[in-house]
């Protein structure tokens, strides 16, 4: 249930409506069969008329929202489909526009992001249903490249902060055969970014490097502190 509620992104007007009249929120939860799997469906109806349906299923040791269907005539769609690995990590996601993003992990750390991709033999821009896939279909799908497909990889090399990336590499949008690299150095005690260096391409033939340096919190606001 906590996973479901964490995904709710209501407008400020909806929040005020819910606070002023608790009866305007109609929440229903039941177990249904979806893609021949037992899932928990939670349907939320708002005072604005928006109806959101959250399908949760078991992934690892948790119940995780795998499918979101919702929206209304006067608000944006929040449809989304998610595929998880046995550890509960998202490995595939289809957004409301129909595009797919794939994720890989090294242990518990994010290793790469590959997107935007499209479902096989379907164009989300021209398909009236935005090539919407079920969880089972998304799991089995081999997504295809689009003109804006990019790969981002993450490397971790800081022993004090092993969950923080020290090098982020992304396919360049200015040079199709090049990459954009962002290196980060962290404060040993706080984990704040001290040095950020970005090397990328401003054209197909010219690259640049930009480096920014920041001071730890105590050095910025208490410059006379011992160091």
Q: Exposure string (b/e) for 132-156, b if CB count within 10 Å is 16 or more?
A: bbebeebeebebeebeebeebbbeb
Of 29, 58, 76, which one is at a domain's C-terminal end?
76
Of 94, 119, 154, which one is at a domain's C-terminal end?
154
Checking if the pLDDT of 103 tops 90, the result is: yes
In order, the DSSP letters of 176-193 are TT-EEEEEEEE-TTT--E
Average pLDDT over residues 136-145: 94
Q: Are residues 93 and 119 in the same domain?
A: yes
d(CA 151, CA 183): 16
Our count of domains for the chain comes to 3
Q: Are residues 198 and 225 in the same domain?
A: yes
Is there a cis peptide before residue 116, judged by omega within 30 degrees of 0?
yes
Q: Are residues 59 and 116 in the same domain?
A: no
Checking if the pLDDT of 16 tops 60, the result is: no
Q: Are residues 69 and 1 in the same domain?
A: yes
Domain carrying residue 101:
79-154
Return the minimum-mean-pLDDT range out of 45-49, 50-54, 124-128: 45-49
Q: Are residues 174 and 194 in the same domain?
A: yes
Contact 101, 148 (CB under 8 A): no
Of 154, 182, 205, which one is at a domain's C-terminal end?
154
**Predicted confidence band at 200 (pLDDT cuts at 50, 70, 90)?**
very high
Cβ count within 10 A of residue 65: 21
């Amino acid at each position: 249930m906590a996973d479901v509620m964490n995904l709710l992104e209501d407008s400020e007007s909806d929040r005020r409506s819910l606070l002023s009249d608790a009866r305007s929120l109609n929440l229903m939860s039941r177990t249904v069969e979806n893609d021949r799997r037992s899932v928990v469906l939670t349907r939320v109806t708002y005072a604005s008329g928006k109806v959101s349906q959250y399908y949760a299923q078991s992934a690892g040791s948790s119940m995780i929202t795998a499918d979101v269907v919702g929206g209304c005539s006067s608000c944006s769609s929040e449809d989304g489909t998610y595929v998880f690995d046995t550890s509960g990590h998202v490995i595939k996601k289809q957004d409301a526009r129909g595009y797919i993003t794939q994720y890989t992990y090294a242990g518990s750390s994010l290793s790469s992001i590959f997107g935007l991709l499209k479902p096989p033999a379907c164009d989300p821009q021209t398909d009236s249903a935005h090539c919407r896939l079920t969880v089972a279909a998304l799991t089995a799908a081999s997504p295809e490249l689009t003109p804006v497909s990019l790969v981002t990889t993450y490397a971790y090399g800081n022993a004090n902060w092993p969950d923080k990336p020290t090098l982020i590499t992304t396919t360049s949008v200015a040079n199709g055969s090049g990459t954009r690299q962002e290196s980060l150095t962290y404060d040993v005690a706080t984990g704040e970014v001290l040095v950020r260096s970005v090397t990328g391409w401003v054209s197909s033939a010219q690259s640049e490097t930009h480096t920014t340096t920041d001071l730890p919190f105590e050095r910025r606001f208490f410059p006379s502190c011992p160091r």
